[in-house]
Structure 1
Amino acid sequence: MTTETETNWLDEEVGIVTAQLRDLKAEMVRLQARARNGDMAAAKEAQKTVAEVRTFLARAAETEARLAEINGRHGGARGYALDLDGARVAIRCRLDRLRRCHGAG
């Protein structure tokens, strides 16, 4: 059985990761729209967003490891299932499209 501290930590982390992913997705959509409209300043902002994506992925990996640890000890963590591989693929695809918009190769 998970402890209250573990449950609170997990609930908080899942909420944070979900919010970050939602924010990063919205930012990438905004940057893509700006790039399509010829706003080259969007490229600099894209660099910042890429750094945020890296931070997100590190935090998601930490959460995933902690969840695996809890699952290993307790045989399940209240049905939480983060599709981190899917999130990574989606983020990489968006970054690739953004790079193509700016001709970065």
Structure 2
Amino acid sequence: MPQWTPVCAFDDIDDEDVRRFDHAGKTFAIYRYDDKVYASDGLCTHEQVHLCDGLVQAHVIECPKHNGRFDIRDGRPLGAPVCVALKTYPAKVEGGEILIDVA
């Protein structure tokens, strides 16, 4: 059963940007690209660096530490040094607010 959790207003995240969201002892990364929203675990699978400090270009987040890249749509790694995918979560916009399913 989905557990939709409010994150922030849709307009609080610029296009091609990422925001950190902490909930229930876990860190998430919330992305906006082309007026769509995506969500993943907030730490790089390579060295547990916060992805909110990374760079978003198109559907790619680049880790700020070693430049590992992930596809924000499905979490798959796109090149060294990352080789383990990010866990992703359903995300949507309702009433101008971003919600993610943390279940």
TM-score (norm 1): 0.25
More strand by share: 2
Higher relative contact order (CA 8 A, sep 6+): 1
More helix by share: 1
Structure 1 or 2, whichever has the larger Rg, is 1
TM-score (norm 2): 0.26
